[in-house]
């Protein structure tokens, strides 16, 4: 797939820390309850750590107690792309940044959270960078 931000693997390795690279470019997952944004309630915009694209806003972040930051809706439906993920012996929906293709996490539906969309975008903190509201 072609993305607006298109870099070689070597460029990504140079620009990202090994931990960021493992999650963003190799679809890894950070350990639950370890990410810097898991319990953050600061108002602002969450952008892709790899390319800076606006992905989520704090007003859609909610407490899911799952170990990763959870949002019920992206900032814009075109901000993320959703891809069927059949890894790990199950069917899930992977969430990627639509601008650079970086792995963000997964989205789940029908879990019973009282959100307007009945969705939980379960996103790795290391995939995000928070720009606090001024």
- Number of folded domains in the chain? 1
pLDDT at residue 94, as a whole number = 97
- What is the DSSP track for 64-93? --SSS-EESS-SSTTSEEEEEE-GGGS-EE
**Which residues carry out catalysis?**
122
Contact 128, 38 (CB under 8 A): no
* Residue 18 placed within a domain: yes
* Residue 4 placed within a domain: no
* Residue 1 placed within a domain: no
88 lies in which domain range?
Answer: 9-132
* Residue 77 placed within a domain: yes
pLDDT at residue 1, as a whole number = 65
pTM here is 0.94
pLDDT at residue 87, as a whole number = 84
Per-residue pLDDT 10s for the chain (134 aa) are: 689 999 999 999 999 999 999 999 999 999 999 999 999 999 999 999 999 999 999 999 999 999 999 999 999 889 999 999 898 788 899 999 999 999 999 999 999 999 999 999 999 999 999 999 88
């Amino acid at each position: 797939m072609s993305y607006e931000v298109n870099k070689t693997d070597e460029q990504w390795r140079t620009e990202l820390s090994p931990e960021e690279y493992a999650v963003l470019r190799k679809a890894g997952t950070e350990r639950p309850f370890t990410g810097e944004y898991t319990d953050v309630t600061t108002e602002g915009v969450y952008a892709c750590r790899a390319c800076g694209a606006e992905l989520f806003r704090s007003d859609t972040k909610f407490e899911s107690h799952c170990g990763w930051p959870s949002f019920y809706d992206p900032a814009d439906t075109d901000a993320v792309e959703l891809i069927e993920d059949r890894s790990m012996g199950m069917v899930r929906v992977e969430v990627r940044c639509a601008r650079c293709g970086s792995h963000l996490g997964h989205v789940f539906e029908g879990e019973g959270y009282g959100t307007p969309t009945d969705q939980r975008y379960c996103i790795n903190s290391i995939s995000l960078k928070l720009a606090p509201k001024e």
